[in-house]
Amino acid sequence: MKVVQLETTPEVRGLEHRGGTFHARTIVEGKPGTPGNFKFSLSRLGTDYSGPRHRHNFDQYRYMIEGWSDYGQDGRSRPGMLGYYPEGVHYGPQVNKTEIYCAVLQFGGASGSGYLLPREAKAGMEELKQFGEFKDGVFHRREGFPGKRNMDAFQAIWEHVHGRECTIPRAAMPRRSRLIRAFLTGCRSKRQGCVGKAVRRVDRAPHAAGLFKLAKGARFEAVGHGVYLVLSGAGACAGNPLKQYTTVYVEVNERATIEASEETLLLHYGLPDLSDIEAAGQTSGTLQAAE
């Protein structure tokens, strides 16, 4: 278990292969090269950033804290809304109507494809620049170098890093991404002083996301592999202070007690149990192919 304060994490530019303004703080991440690898971050994107309609070989959640984005046929994401984007499912195009601030969890899904961390993607991008250029989310390969001339930027990076073709996991989840309102309805938790509701388990997803509201003086037992982000309020956990945008990360078979010194709202992202895949020795194999 670990408690991470936002200000202790550096803010860096990300998704340079797509262009536009994108800065993020990586709060917690998993183990590279494993099916269960993940990254939890807080990201700020400008109106000059846009993403084409595409899909990934990993799962992700995005909770909108500030601003709003238009995802075309998938709908609009506004403050208090949660987007769930399963592996293999197309979503977008994304157009930010204002600057946005969101809490993002990207993680390996049920296919066992894993997740490529930003620093790995960045290194691959820099190496690929000797063979071509990145523009508007597409890698344009120069003549004289083997490989497809024009392809999705991340797909090109992934294939370069792994030295093999990137294939798409079959979408086991809904055929469309989900943008749903994440709100509390008064569903009572067994934990005294806590009101909570899972944000509508998404079909057969082996994980869940939700919000929990803690009354002043409440004690909340965080159980199971996942992250808890303080959206508002204050308190303590394992002797560490909690304030807005503090993250509590709970590992497998761990628990953490969160004590609220004032009314507190928590965003919870649960991580799937992929131990059976990891025990079989599978590692990141078929990652994202954005289209």
Nearest alpha-carbon partner for 287 in 150, 202, 160, 178 = 160
Residue 291 has pLDDT above 60, yes or no: no
Look up the pTM and report it: 0.81
Residue pLDDT, tens place only, 181-236: 654 433 344 455 655 444 444 434 446 788 899 999 999 999 989 999 999 999 99
Angle between helices 118-128 and 153-162 (to 10 degrees): 90
- Cα 55 → chain centroid: 14
**Which fold is adopted by the domain 183-270?**
Jelly Rolls (2.60.120)
Q: What is the sign, positive or negative, of the torsion defined by CA atoms of 274, 183, 188, 221?
A: positive
What is the pLDDT, as a whole number, of residue 207? Answer: 65
Residue pLDDT, tens place only, 51-91: 788 888 889 999 999 999 999 988 899 999 988 888 888 88
Per the listing, tokens 């469309």 go with: 176
The residues spanned by each domain of the chain are 183-270
The H or E element that residue 211 is part of is: strand 209-214
Question: What CA–CA distances, in Å, run from 205 to 21, 60, 165, 212?
Answer: 31, 11, 27, 20
The H or E element that residue 12 is part of is: strand 11-13
Answer yes or no: are the C-beta atoms of 37 and 67 closer than 8 Å: no
Residue pLDDT, tens place only, 118-163: 788 888 899 999 999 998 778 999 998 988 899 888 788 878 877 7
Answer yes or no: are the C-beta atoms of 255 and 223 closer than 8 Å: yes
What is the pLDDT, as a whole number, of residue 182? Answer: 55
Question: What CA–CA distances, in Å, run from 169 to 72, 108, 197, 289?
Answer: 23, 11, 30, 9
Alpha-helical runs (H) found in 98-167: 118-128, 153-162
